[in-house]
Structure 1
Amino acid sequence: MQEVTPYVVTGRTLLGEDFREEDVSITVSGGIVTSIEPSSRTPDRWIVPAFFNAHTHLGDTVAMDLPARGSLADLVKPPDGLKHRILAATPRAELVRGMRASIIAMIATGTAGFADFREGGADGVAALREAAAGLDCRPIILGREGGEEVSDGAGISSVHDVANAEEVVRDARAAGRLVAFHAGEKNPDDIDETLEFEPDLLVHCTHATDAQLRRIVDMDIPVAVCPRSNWLLGVAASAAHPPITRILELGGRFYLGTDNVMFVQPDLSREMAFAATVYRAPPGEILRAAITGARMAGRSGFIEEGQEAHFLVVNPAKSNLSFSKDILATIVKRLDSSSIGQTVLTLQ
């Protein structure tokens, strides 16, 4: 057996789920944080948890910023929305190249994993696996159109769009796979029906009613919200949608995602800054939402002993970040790839 050489990273660190600020030395061995020890002399750098993008459509990379007009249904509704027609007409090699480029972009901006609704059936799932091969960014693939059977679960569009949703959910449950639904993106009409399936994840809930939110929280279902995409696609125009503040008031959970690469860059630092500006949620809640989607991959996402090593080393001296009086708020509002000196995204 090959011996694993431990290595140590030292700096001011946001530790655990409560983001305790401490000067520590972190020892990593075999991809695991094996010890976190206080350090009296630390370099001028910050160590923060890496991100998990809770909702993407990476296949859309091939249609990035394509001039497009029309309703939400015209653009993205399966099976004949604009994005679906483009995906069907794109050669497989180009599709893989585009998805790989977006994964590399996510790594550069601090993302250690993502959950993708993958179109194209089993071949679409295989194409995303090929795109991610050898990269330190773990995909959770939620298949469609038959791809559910060879992926991590089912990524279902609105319950109103999928005639055999009951069968898809039943088969996914029988195989021990995840079940995720788009719901409530443009109105609340499909949320109650979706909740009958008791999904593991809801995406959007942009227009969920208060009664629906209470039910979602009571069922302990996390909601992956995608604020920039909602605003760009015209389904949100105020801080009430998606209802981030109300989810928090009710004691619920939300994750951050970036949605379609066709419209929005898959960069969670930009998503966090937008959410902080528009929704005024506490920085700790926003950062937590950019991390805890990692639970779908079976890990906490936080910097703790015994957890996989997924963190960013930020060099504040490379920019004006060195003047920060609140590291947590600065990470949420101002981080960009130019400040990230090192990414530790060790996958097992």
Structure 2
Amino acid sequence: MREAKPYVVIGRALLGEDLREEDVTITVSGGIVTSIEPAPRTPERWIVPAFFNAHTHLGDTVAMDLPARGSLADLVKPPNGLKHRILAATSQAELVRGMRASIIAMLATGTTGFADFREGGADGVAALREAAAGLDCRPIILGREGGEEVSDGAGISSVHDVGNAEEIVRNARAAGKLVAFHAGERKPDDVDDALAFEPDLLVHCTHATDAQLRRIVDMDIPVAVCPRSNWLLGVATSAVHPPIARILDLGGRLYLGTDNVMFVQPDMLQEMAFAATVYRARPDEILRAAVSGAGFAGVSGYLEEGQKANFLVINPLRNNISFSKDIQTTIVKRLDSSSICQTVLTMQ
């Protein structure tokens, strides 16, 4: 829901970046969490930070599960990959309808914000804005092909795929906008070139070397990993890629994303469960990766006094998760949309 008047919710909450578990009464006024007070008795209700999908291509909704074969380049490399040919042949109205449907699907599964690499220039950016209009979500739109000028920044494919990356980055920086690169998805040879631009975000880093990961962490650049997409596209076949464990060991900033809707449903619940199962990271690490991307949108994302309201209210009695002995583990591995009974989000 859009929070307008003061709102009070009581339950067992995961508070702050450390996700500490406490029984509390939370008050939201003017879109801000104004107080979090201890509550001696609480109903069966969990209050948890909402999720931020740190990497999407929502335009690909119109090509969902299209039978397709070929290399990664054949499928998604600009400007002539299969997805780009499909997007070029799709009407604006159908594109908007598809992207809106995917945003609604994200909201139903607890995602209230996302960062989208938006193809199609200024018209593509306008289409995503139209798709998101009136919905309780916080989109970050990273344009391409001229869309950088009318969006939140630049969403650049591999530096080797774009001949004018230096110009794109220079213009984005001059306008005070964000810069994000795909890098290291198939092999590590484009990571160093991307790092030369000091981006605000790197996506994938599936095959980044240890030396490159150390540079990324030293430069404090977050990495948005997309494990399910990597596996489906054949660029990952083990828990070594993407290097989730190594990024965490080095103290890096890890975000979670779902990538192309053409191949993967934009569902952070599924992404968390897959990452926890295959990569065996701790539940709190996976949950933070699913929340921290909100920082890319300039907000905390966590449940803290003084922060913008952005959380989910979960009724565990709606299914068997009421038997949970560890809320974090259950949210990461078992939660589905049927238990999410309310979303509280401040849009501004």
What's the TM-score bracket when you normalise by the shorter of the two chains? over 0.9
- Structure 2: which 5+ residue stretches go unaligned? none
Q: How does 1:20-31 map to 2 (within 5 A)?
A: 20-31=20-31
TM-aligned CA deviation for residue 48 of structure 1: 0.4
1:288 aligned residue: 288
1:18 aligned residue: 18
Residues in 1 aligned to 2:7 and 2:214: alpha-carbon distance in whole angstroms: 46
Residues in 1 aligned to 2:294 and 2:67: alpha-carbon distance in whole angstroms: 33
1:298 aligned residue: 298
Q: Deviations over 1:311-345 (max 9, x none)?
A: 11111111110111100111111111011111112
- Structure 1: which 5+ residue stretches go unaligned? none
Residues in 2 aligned to 1:268 and 1:92: alpha-carbon distance in whole angstroms: 27
TM-aligned CA deviation for residue 346 of structure 1: 2.7
1:197 aligned residue: 197
1:49 aligned residue: 49
Q: How does 1:169-318 map to 2 (within 5 A)?
A: 169-318=169-318
| Matched letter for residue 152 of structure 1 | D
Secondary structure of the structure 1 residue equivalent to 2:107: helix
Deviation above 4 Å: which 4+ runs of structure 1?
none
Aligned length: 345
TM-score, normalising length from structure 2? Answer: 0.98
Residues in 1 aligned to 2:176 and 2:270: alpha-carbon distance in whole angstroms: 34
| Matched letter for residue 78 of structure 1 | P
1:157 aligned residue: 157
| Matched letter for residue 83 of structure 1 | K
The answer on 1:80 being equivalent to 2:62 is no
Segment drifting more, 30-39 vs 174-183? 30-39
Q: RMSD value over aligned CA atoms?
A: 0.7
Residues in 2 aligned to 1:252 and 1:20: alpha-carbon distance in whole angstroms: 21
Residues in 2 aligned to 1:279 and 1:5: alpha-carbon distance in whole angstroms: 42
| Matched letter for residue 114 of structure 1 | F
Secondary structure of the structure 2 residue equivalent to 1:148: helix
| Matched letter for residue 325 of structure 2 | K
TM-aligned CA deviation for residue 5 of structure 1: 3.2
Residues in 2 aligned to 1:134 and 1:5: alpha-carbon distance in whole angstroms: 18
The answer on 1:135 being equivalent to 2:135 is yes
Give identity over the alignment, percent: 85
TM-aligned CA deviation for residue 65 of structure 1: 0.4
Residues in 2 aligned to 1:9 and 1:159: alpha-carbon distance in whole angstroms: 47
Residues in 1 aligned to 2:69 and 2:5: alpha-carbon distance in whole angstroms: 54
TM-aligned CA deviation for residue 271 of structure 1: 0.3
Q: Deviations over 1:93-147 (max 9, x none)?
A: 0000000000000000001100000000001001000000011111000000000
